Chain A
Amino acid sequence: MTRDFTPHDPLIDDLVADLRPVRPRHWTRDALVIAALVIVEIPLLIALRGMRPDMPAAMGDMAFWWKAAALAIFAGLSATALLVSLDPAVTNGPRLARLWRALGVVVPVALGLGWLIDATTHAPSLAERLDWRQGVDCLISIFLLSLPMIAALVALMRRGAPTRPEQTAMAAGLAAAGSGAFVFGFHCSHDDPLYVAVWYGGAVLGVALLSRWLLPRLVRW
């Protein structure tokens, strides 16, 4: 039995009195939550809006795989950056910086690859390629699909300890919209990289900026 030799400080007394056992946070559990939500959203979207009608044919098309892979990698990197940034010990470490740099590389490389894949296959006019009516639908749908994910990510952010809330909020927006865009790809029959860059990119950017602005207020600690 060791003697209690520490001076008594009312704040410390209060904190000790409030002590309850806690389970240390581990990022894999958070990652599972995110993955589960994506997996739930896919059949939900297919039930509500239907699978893209040309799915079998599209699967033989390189542009289809380009879109799915680019969005999955983008969403995965953003979600990883978010989860890493919830640990105060690594917020300023090189691991997080590397993730942001990777995101900075993935986007232009993906768009460049898309352009290469696309350069030979598309002839119609710009207006036809952008198809604004469907484009606006894409924009709104991706926004809506990202909302449940944003809600889940805010819960994770509040449980974690983001020491750079703006950056974490940005990562959350990119991850939510990126995963929403990936899910929406099961319904949307546009694989044209120009269309994806404009409408999917617009939705992702919009959600990210909105998160960057709104979320830090919700996760102050």
Chain B
Amino acid sequence: MFAAFASLAVVPPPESPPGTAADTDPHGWAALMAAAQAGEAAPYRRLLAELRPWLLRYFARRLPPSAVEDAVQDTLVAIHAKRHTWDPARPFGPWLAGIARYKWIDRLRNAGRHAADVLPDTLSTPDHETAVTSAAALRGLMATLKPAQAEVIRLVKIDGLSIEEAAARTGQSVALVKVNIHRGLGRLARLVEGNSDDA
């Protein structure tokens, strides 16, 4: 746990969520959300439209490219469904970051649960270089995993190899590749969950 904590320092600092203590509401999002809670459509539309690119950047750093759009949509729906849980007396940024991070962990867990299913999604990313670098935060976290787990996650989830190809490349059996992806991603999810510095 503590080792994982220390190694998280290699993760590039996340975009600072707007509305943290130093800067309470630079985008005016808190005011927009307060209006949305009162049922005003126009400020709500503006808020969601402004949150979208922020979320795209947030997830682009943390997930393989093919998973980013789904995560953004999922998070927008969650923000909608849970909008009453934001306390207007408090800054908006930590609340937003908390939800985005929950959805990130959720994605990591799901990807781990369906080691093989997600494959077609992540296969053949057109711009391989972007795929690898854009999941920078994810890669930093992976440094904390066992090498065998990190290797197959990198091959399958980021480089887009099939399970069989990853098995051939690493010398692990197909079953072991699946197990290592499942365990590794599960561990990543727990790491993110246990680390309070991310938000």
Do A and B actually bind? Answer: yes
Asked whether A24 and B76 contact (CB < 8 A) given A4-B42, A12-B48, A88-B98, the answer is: no
Asked whether A26 and B78 contact (CB < 8 A) given A19-B36, A88-B99, the answer is: no
CB closest chain-A residue, reference B193: A164
B3 at the interface (CB under 8 A from A): no
A125 at the interface (CB under 8 A from B): no
B81 at the interface (CB under 8 A from A): yes
CB neighbors of B among A16-53 (8 A):
16, 18-26
A89 at the interface (CB under 8 A from B): yes
How far apart are B51's CB and chain A's nearest CB, in angstroms?
Answer: 9
Bound Cα distance from A91 to B95, whole angstroms: 9
Chain A residues near B81 (CB, 8 Å)? 221
User: A15 touching B77 by the CB < 8 A rule?
Assistant: yes
Chain A residues near B94 (CB, 8 Å)? 88-90, 93
B10 at the interface (CB under 8 A from A): no
User: A21 touching B38 by the CB < 8 A rule?
Assistant: yes
Chain B residues near A164 (CB, 8 Å)? 102, 193
A11 at the interface (CB under 8 A from B): yes
Give chain B's interface secondary structure class: helix
Chain B residues near A88 (CB, 8 Å)? 82, 85, 94-95, 98-99, 102
Interface size on B, residues (CB 8 A): 39
A7 at the interface (CB under 8 A from B): yes
User: A163 touching B99 by the CB < 8 A rule?
Assistant: yes
Asked whether A6 and B85 contact (CB < 8 A) given A24-B37, A93-B196, the answer is: no
B41 at the interface (CB under 8 A from A): yes
A99 at the interface (CB under 8 A from B): no
User: B38 touching A15 by the CB < 8 A rule?
Assistant: no
User: B85 touching A92 by the CB < 8 A rule?
Assistant: no
Chain A residues near B170 (CB, 8 Å)? none
User: A16 touching B86 by the CB < 8 A rule?
Assistant: no
User: B52 touching A21 by the CB < 8 A rule?
Assistant: no
Chain B residues near A178 (CB, 8 Å)? none
Contact of A24 (CB < 8 Å), options: B49, B77, B88: B88
How far apart are A22's CB and chain B's nearest CB, in angstroms?
Answer: 4
User: B90 touching A22 by the CB < 8 A rule?
Assistant: no
CB closest chain-A residue, reference B90: A89
User: A11 touching B76 by the CB < 8 A rule?
Assistant: yes
How far apart are A136's CB and chain B's nearest CB, in angstroms?
Answer: 36
Bound Cα distance from A26 to B90, whole angstroms: 12
User: A9 touching B52 by the CB < 8 A rule?
Assistant: yes
Chain A residues near B49 (CB, 8 Å)? 6-7, 9, 12
Chain A residues near B195 (CB, 8 Å)? 92
- Name the 10 nearest CB pairs between A and B, nearest first: A88-B98, A21-B39, A163-B102, A6-B49, A22-B84, A89-B94, A89-B95, A161-B82, A92-B196, A161-B85
- Chain A residues in the interface with B (C-beta under 8 A): 2, 4, 6-7, 9, 11-12, 15-16, 18-26, 86-94, 97, 159-161, 163-164, 221
